[in-house]
Amino acid sequence: MSISSLFREFGPNVAIAAAVPTAAVLVFAIYMTRFDLQWGAFLTGILLAGILSLVDRTLRAEHLVTNYSAKLVIAQFELEREKNEREALEEQYLSAKARLQFIDEAMPFMLAYVDDQRRCRHHSRAFAAFVRLPPDRIDGRLLRDVLGHHFYSEIEHAVDEVLEARTFYVERTRRMPEGAIYHLLIQCLPRFASEGSVTGFYVVLTDITDRRHVGSGGAHGPADALQQERGEEHGAGADTLRAQEMLGDSIAERITGRKDAAQHIVSAIENDEFTLFCQLIRPLLGRDSGQPGHYEILVRLIEEEQNLLPPGAFFPLAEKHGLMPHLDRWVVEHVLKWASPRKARNTDAAREKCFVNVAAATISDPDFPEFVLRQLQRYDVPGSTLCFEMRLSDVMAQLGDAAEFARSVKTGGCRIALSDYGVDRASLNVLKHVPADFIKIDGGIVLNIVRDPVQFAKVASIGRMAKAIGVRTIGELVEDGETIARLQEADIDFAQGYGISRPRPLEGVAE
């Protein structure tokens, strides 16, 4: 311990100890010289000076004690604040860890995080199972080595774009070692540092090879004959639907971290927290060539673009809680709001059609057609602008409601499209009851027409049948020029897919 610190610690006590005997000596000296006024005054002055000095030291000591007490209170407050912040961070960490574990173990799509050096830093179990590598051959390895050089070369341009801070979606086909063929939706989502630079990106692989939709709701009227044709398929489909709804509910709530996820979607609708994308539907044949293409409207939750959510992750929960009619109304209103000034300025735009998907609950909503007619009048847009797209499974599950829905919206000039066409042997019977203007051939069939003559023959047969009854055909999930050429051979009118156009924001569509 230094001399200065010793002095600071014991100085006040030494001063007090010295002051007491000094004061006693001065008092005694004053008494002894009481008849000598000069000495008495001198000694009295010394005594007063000593007393004032002692008082000054006492006040200084009290001031220091007060300062140290205040600093101690502040330190205690800071310590309590840091303790609370640490507990909050630990709680957030545990919550994030639980959600990450859920994504890792239970999510149905494949996920990996790749840093800006293109090395994998995290992956889900589904991703490891897909690439068929143990964790020690994934983490820390280059994405090229994990996916294989051939597969990586097909998406390398997507990796380049995402590292330049652009979200990227692409569809690719991959043949597995045992011969199985998978069609994948590949999403690359950038991850940003606090200063805005890209520190890496997420790769999400979703298997869409055999994408099927299962409808819900009761059936009546002409649907009974169709259900008899399908046998037990409808009952099994209902069980599958319930399982899918439970899984979708769990996924949506666990990812968003909200128990009131349904209210969150309602709030998003009311506050315009959704955004619209579109994908071009391009004409293929002579009678439509030179005509403007059409657009399928895709709805995205803005939160999906900012978080680790695949497009449409909120749909299962919205369907579970009966919110799809509200969302479909939002889509119709905003599509017409976008189309109104566009059609006034562009004559070609007046012939374009916006394909709007409607959910099973919307098809059975008796007030929805009236809402559509009011919005058409409000925005002064012809009904032919809207083409309502219904999934074939939804139509077959509630054929009476679907037929009434089509009849009602067609009174306003709207068009009807049936998607997933060709996957069910009762597809043809649906057209007897629902007057469709377009049928969209299921992507699972179109995907294989280049290498499978049976599937090509099926598509060609659908094309001939559609032309005989005056219905236009659209091939879905078109990825490359070979598929486009085969669709043209099969006399299909339109094509849609990543080989035609990637989804893009609706507001960005040129005049």
E strand or H helix at 305, and its extent? helix 302-306
- pLDDT tens digits, residue range 38-73? 665 666 666 677 677 777 777 787 888 888 888 888
**Nearest alpha-carbon partner for 110 in 96, 135, 128, 98:** 128
CA distance 405 to 383: 14
What is the bridge-based pairing of β-strands 181-192 and 120-123?
Answer: unpaired
Query: Residue 96's pLDDT is what?
Result: 67
* pLDDT at residue 269, rounded to an integer: 79
Q: Locate 363 and state its tokens.
A: 């098809």
Looking at per-residue confidence, does 169 or 476 come out higher? Answer: 476
Q: Average pLDDT over the chain, rounded to whole?
A: 77
C-alpha triplet 195, 196, 201: angle, nearest 5°: 125
Whether the CB-CB separation of 225 and 433 falls below 8 Å is answered with no
Q: Tell me if residue 185 falls in helix, strand or coil.
A: strand
Q: What is the pLDDT of residue 304?
A: 52
Closest CA to 215 of 205, 230, 193: 230
Q: Can you tell me the distance from the alpha carbon of 406 to that of 388, in angstroms, rounded to the nearest whole number?
A: 8
Are 375 and 337 in contact by the 8 Å Cβ rule? The answer is: no
Q: In the Cβ-directed half-sphere of 19, how many Cα atoms lie within 13 Å?
A: 19
Stated length of the chain? 511
Q: Give residue-wise pLDDT tens across range 321-375.
A: 788 899 999 999 999 999 988 876 666 666 789 999 999 999 999 999 999 999 9
| pLDDT band of 266, cuts 50, 70, 90 | confident
Other Cβ atoms closer than 10 A to 402? 29
Tell whether the model's pLDDT for residue 215 goes beyond 50.
no
Q: Whole-angstrom Cα distance, residue 446 to residue 503?
A: 19
- If DSSP states are collapsed to H, E and C, what string results for 139-174? CCCEHHHHHCHHHHHHHHHHHHHHCCCCCEEEEEEE
| Cα(36)–Cα(30) distance, integer angstroms | 9
Looking at the whole model, is its pTM more than 0.75?
no
Question: How far is the C-alpha of 477 from the C-alpha of 500, rounded, in Å?
Answer: 9
Q: What burial letters (b/e) apply to 231-260, b meaning 16+ CB within 10 Å?
A: eebbeebeeebeebbeebbebbbbbbeeee
263 C-beta neighbours (distance < 10 Å), count: 12
Residue whose structure tokens are 């049948």: 465
pLDDT of 245 reads 46
Residue 460 neighbours by CB under 8 Å, 6+ apart? 489, 490, 491
Tell me how crowded residue 215 is: count the other CB atoms within 10 A of its CB: 22
The amino acid that residue 399 corresponds to is L
Angstrom distance (rounded) from CA 206 to CA 310: 9
Structure tokens at 65: 């004690």
CB-based contact 382:350 (threshold 8 Å)? yes
Lowest average pLDDT, out of 26-35, 288-297, 487-496, goes to 26-35
pLDDT in tens, 123-180: 888 888 888 888 889 989 999 999 888 788 878 877 887 888 777 767 776 666 655 6
Element (H, E) at 257: none
* CA–CA separation, 224 and 429 (whole Å): 12
Q: Helix or strand or coil: residue 190?
A: strand
Crossing angle (nearest 10°) for helices 368-379 and 399-410: 20
Q: What is the pLDDT of residues 366-382, one digit of tens each?
A: 999 999 999 999 999 99
415, β-bridge pairs: 387
Question: Rounded distance, CA 168 to CA 155, Å?
Answer: 10
| Of 401 and 2, more confident | 401
Q: Which residues of 481-501 are buried (b: 16+ CB within 10 A; e: fewer)?
A: eebbebbeebbbbbbbbbbbb
| pLDDT band with cut points at 50, 70 and 90 for residue 427 | confident
Q: Which two tokens stand for residue 424?
A: 């069910």
* Single-letter code of the amino acid located at 268: A
Helix, strand or coil, per DSSP, at residue 510: coil
CB atoms closer than 10 angstroms to residue 471: 21
Give tens-digit pLDDT for 437-469. 999 998 888 988 998 899 999 999 999 999 999
DSSP 316-331: HHHHHTT-HHHHHHHH
Q: Which is it for strands 438-441 and 274-283: parallel, antiparallel or unpaired?
A: unpaired
Please give the full DSSP string across 390-426, using - where no structure is assigned.
EEHHHHHHTHHHHHHHHHHHHTTT-EEEEEEETSSTT
How far apart CA 113 and CA 205 sit, in angstroms, is: 12
> Which residue in this structure is represented by tokens 């507990």?
87
pLDDT over 70 for what percent of the chain? Answer: 67
Q: How far apart are CA 264 and CA 86, in angstroms?
A: 28
pLDDT tens, 106-126?
A: 555 688 899 999 999 988 888
